[in-house]
Amino acid sequence: MIDTIQQMPLKDVPRGEFLRRKLDAKKTYTRGEYDRSYKRYRCDDWDDISRDIMLKGSQLVWVGFEF
């Protein structure tokens, strides 16, 4: 678990950790599994379980916030 707000590459975020793409974003995601067929990480929308996005491991995301 990450305690302070910081920006880091998605590949370094622990699985299940909350993340946001921008610091002031309204959408919160949880980091999911790496999908080898797309070569990207799956990020599940916290509010809508049927919605997810695929991001590269080098994508910078924000972690360690409270919502």
CATH of the domain at 51: 2.30.30
Indicate the number of domains in the chain: 1
pLDDT recorded at residue 67 = 76
Would residue 1 count as lying in a domain?
Answer: no
Other CB atoms within a 10 A radius of the CB of residue 19 amount to 23
Tell me which residue range forms the domain holding 42. 6-63
Low-confidence ranges of the chain (pLDDT < 70): 1
16 burial level (CB within 10 Å; 0-12, 13-18, 19+): exposed
pLDDT value at residue 66: 86
14 part of a folded domain: yes
Q: State the Cα–Cα distance between residues 20 and 31, nearest whole angstrom.
A: 10
Report the pLDDT value the prediction gives residue 32, as an integer from 0 to 100.
96
Whole-number pLDDT of residue 3: 77
pTM of the model: 0.89
Mean pLDDT, rounded, of the chain: 94
Of 2, 5, 11, 6, nearest to 43 by C-alpha is 11
